[in-house]
């Protein structure tokens, strides 16, 4: 199984363990509230113009389909976030290892993603101890600048 995708089986398991509350409102609106297994709530509604055209089953199906579509999006977001955190953890661990493995380092190159999305490459050739302390003190555990989290270290090299 590819860990880089959300599968139909995952979505089905969430839906099977979801508690749905279905109600009719104002004689022409179906409201479905879904409590996901982790307690997260999703609410959807479906309505018609003329109460004579109201069909509770159709309204329920429409709402449940919309909720399932939202679950796909939420699970995709969760997967992307987890992968991003693993990437940052690996980057941070590799950075510290590179610093330990290269005690005589003379150049440190940092790739920084700016809020615009541009990548800035910074080459440090002097006073590396203070530069290292700067990154440790001013960036969080996700390598985001504490003063502006939109600024993030995305790669590095120690030579």
Q: Is the pLDDT of residue 99 over 70?
A: no
Q: Answer with the residue of higher pLDDT: 7 or 94.
A: 7
> Which pLDDT belongs to residue 131?
81
Alpha-carbon span 36 to 134, nearest angstrom: 43
CA–CA distances in Å: residue 54 to residues 22, 45, 71, 130, 154? 15, 13, 26, 70, 53
Residue 153 to residue 91: CA distance in whole angstroms: 9
Higher per-residue confidence, 56 vs 77? 56
Phi, psi of 38 (to 5 degrees): -90, 5
pLDDT at residue 103 in the model: 64
pLDDT tens sequence across 131-148: 877 887 888 877 899 999
Contact 55, 73 (CB under 8 A): no
> What local confidence, expressed as pLDDT, does residue 25 receive?
96
What long-range pairs does 74-83 form, CB within 8 A, spacing at least 24?
A: 74/40, 75/6, 75/10, 75/11, 75/14, 76/6, 79/4, 79/5, 79/6, 83/4
Q: What's the Rg (C-alpha) of the chain?
A: 25
Q: What is the pLDDT of residue 1?
A: 46
Give the Cβ contact number of residue 103 at 10 Å.
6
In this model, does residue 19 exceed pLDDT 60? yes
What digits encode the pLDDT tens for the residues 59-83?
999 999 999 999 999 998 888 777 7
Burial category of 109 from C-beta neighbours within 10 Å (exposed 0-12, middle 13-18, buried 19 and up): middle
pLDDT given at position 92:
65
> Out of 11-15, 26-30, 79-83, which region has the weakest mean confidence (pLDDT)?
79-83
pLDDT value at 2 more than 70: no
Check pLDDT > 80 for residue 91: no
């Amino acid at each position: 199984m590819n860990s880089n995708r959300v599968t139909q089986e995952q979505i089905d398991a969430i839906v099977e363990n979801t508690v749905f509350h279905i109600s009719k409102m104002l004689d022409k609106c179906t409201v479905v509230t879904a409590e996901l297994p982790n307690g997260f709530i999703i609410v959807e509604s479906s309505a018609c113009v003329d109460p004579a055209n109201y069909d509770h089953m159709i309204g329920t199906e429409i709402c449940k389909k919309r909720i399932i579509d939202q679950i796909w999006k939420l699970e995709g977001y969760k997967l992307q976030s987890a992968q991003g955190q693993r990437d940052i953890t690996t980057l941070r661990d590799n950075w510290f290892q590179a610093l330990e493995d290269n005690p005589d380092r003379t150049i440190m190159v940092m790739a920084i993603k700016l809020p615009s999305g541009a990548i800035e490459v910074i080459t440090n050739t002097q006073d590396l101890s203070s530069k290292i302390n700067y990154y440790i003190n001013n960036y969080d555990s996700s390598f985001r600048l504490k003063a502006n989290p939109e600024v993030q270290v995305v790669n590095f090299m120690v030579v």
